[in-house]
Amino acid sequence: MKSIRVLVVDDSATVRQVLSGVLSAAPGIDVMGTAADPLFALDKMNRDWPDVVVLDVEMPRMDGITFLKKIMAEHPTPVIICSSLTEKGTATAMQALSAGAVSIVTKPRIGLKQFLTESGHEIVSAVKAAAQANVRRLAPMSAPPPRYGLDAIPAAPVQAMAETTDKVVAMGASTGGTQALELVLTTLPRVCPGIVIVQHMPEKFTAAFAARLDSVCAIEVREARHGDRVRPGLALIAPGGRHMQLMRSGAQYHVDVIDGPPVNRHRPSVDVLFRSTARCAGSNALGIIMTGMGDDGARGLKEMHEAKALTLAQDEASCVVYGMPKEAVKLGGVERSLPLAAIPREIARYGGA
């Protein structure tokens, strides 16, 4: 099998040295070079283009976000952002994901060398996942996607809205999911079922991700808090580092945000959300599994299917990584596979049924 050729771009000589050592030691990865800033990197890339770029954000002559946008516009390539992101810098991480970064590895400002050495498996896994990404699906959108207005579905009378509160949409995504979820949620009408979402994302990133979506969506989007009610017109995103379960109290749904060990190597885990949705909502739920590497969510979606929920998967052609949906299809838990662009209409139709 051909090795994954990686270029490391970082203004820190220590980071370049340690990252190169960690990646070079991994089977199937070849560090073809390093660069101290994007202009040096461009010179190297024009002579020999890498399969994956590991990129810092704060660098001289050109910042990493500008360089990322240039790469995605001119020669779409999987890019992993590896940056020291503080609370204040989390918005930069959202910019990077929106501009087309496949994933983000957060490096601390203190104990950097030790962190990079100890977190080698995470960085290697990120590179291998990035190499499989269909990055043309991550190219930044030149204009916001069309939004279904309230006239796109039949106007629901007040009495009907009371009935839809018993419906819930559970969604799970990983690699490529930030842009996929943005397309879906920004396209939804304000009147839609309550939505619960697990997007594989580190702690502290989910609040900024939810805030960004809330600023561009007709529906309300926010990071879930323990005990939040699931209601129409609201999407709750599981906090990074914690699991989210759907619970039912009488006729209403709410979420429990809980600690616990990683499931399928993830916390939050899509399987945790889907399994709880199968148990608490059954046939009153719609489950959607989207782009992502691995198999998290596949078994949970099958349990939703067996509980008579409607289950959908994003199709291979529109996925950045066709991993999670593929595994769900193989297990027999998917009723239909749809292009990403068709998912918002399906959610709107489900809410109006």
The SS3 call for residue 123 is helix
- DSSP of 294-352: S-TTHHHHHHHHHTT-EEEEE-GGG-SSBSHHHHHHHHT--SEEE-GGGHHHHHHHHHH
Per annotation, catalytic residue among 83, 98, 103, 174: 174
Using DSSP bridges, classify how beta strands 229-230 and 52-55 pair: parallel, antiparallel or unpaired. Answer: unpaired
Extract the tokens encoding 167.
Answer: 């419906």
174: annotated active-site residue: yes
Cα–Cα distance, 254 to 163 (Å, whole number): 16
Per annotation, catalytic residue among 56, 98, 200, 305: 200
- The answer for residues whose C-beta is within 8 angstroms of residue 322's C-beta and 6 or more apart is 134, 291, 316
Residue type, 257: V
Per annotation, catalytic residue among 296, 305, 315, 337: 296
Nearest alpha-carbon partner for 301 in 264, 327, 338 = 327
The SS3 call for residue 115 is helix
Nearest alpha-carbon partner for 269 in 174, 140, 343, 340 = 174
Which residues are known catalytic residues?
A: 174, 200, 296
